[in-house]
Structure 1
């Protein structure tokens, strides 16, 4: 069995700040991490590898050269190989252009039984790349996966809903996007780290993927972000003290003064 996991290197959102003048993200000095949902997707693939002998797990990403560090982290966790789609032509891509590039990379890898991906990336929160990639590959897709089992060439999947879950059966090859409730990602091991840095990462540009430079990156992105900003801080909350009746009266009077009731 051959499994491919789509991963992404993202800025740690706990450290991200926005330039108040330019309205853009300040990336200098911000650490990059493996996207959390993608770590759950990788763990799902590695669990299958642990259970089914002969399973090969690969990871693939689109990003700048420094994304190699994240890919080696994935191999240190247990992935067998890694593919980096890196080219200036890929820069400025929205989800549409990103899925075009990823789909081309997956076709070049070839003969994949399951493609795992995280539900969404924390730097965009669109949850669109996984389904769009599946569409470009003409593969069935199940999103918000919180459990998966294999059975005779099919995946039996629990799909998370707001008020429960649904059980779906999907034939392989397929695309599954995972939520954090699926599992707890494993840690890297010392031996895994040593092995990861002994392996070669395959790097492909747009020519390797047989893509025209106009069909990827900013030039192929219909979505454009005009401005990012931090919402202004709200004032401090007001605490009412007293018994329940007194607090209720104070709250009603306050809401009336603000013309909210």
Structure 2
């Protein structure tokens, strides 16, 4: 779906069951190309901004063995570097990051399930900082950290002052904006120091594999009020899932519904925050 910066729907493309099964992550390249990941059919794809398919990596509906390191098993994100190399976080079922050349040929992979440097417990997204020699940032959700690497996959460091990080992006101010599944958003400087945080700032980390604590997240649906911990309100988040920052420094937070509740809560949205 495509929206203008005021939130007006301007169009879209794709059809569930045909172009997508479970579309999960999306990123935009410098030339406007669109990169998507699909956790349902185990592929990543490149499209024109008008929706013409340019490339598919992976075999649709055929997954690699879990934790094999072979692409793909429920890939979570797909993006491009300044050189044209492509990076995919094979996050839900494989705990690896894969690097491909611009034609889709696999160059190398790194990772493995665990908590050590360069290991992952659910890589939810991968971000390439094209302004800093294509440094790679990976949100390592259940290890409650963001790891960063050279473009060759060499471990450089980690930031650990986050709760269940789902997505990270760099803004024009040089700071990093983090969507945390645990009901909040944080802003970190380039060294990982906390600058600001809002949402449920006092949340306890719920690092369970089921995310059971998410049923207590904010609600905007009157049918849910009274059954959750927070009342509705701007700046409250129910499971931030993705984040993006535009050239003006405004940023956008998307939320995910807790499907394990067995109901369609119908209260998830995208919130926009502008610099003042």
Shared fold per TM-score greater than 0.5: no
TM-score by length of 1: 0.27
Higher CA-based Rg: 1
> Of Structure 1 and Structure 2, which has the larger fraction of its residues in helix?
1
The structure, 1 or 2, with the larger RCO (C-alpha pairs under 8 Å, 6+ apart) is 1
> Of Structure 1 and Structure 2, which has the larger fraction of its residues in strand?
2
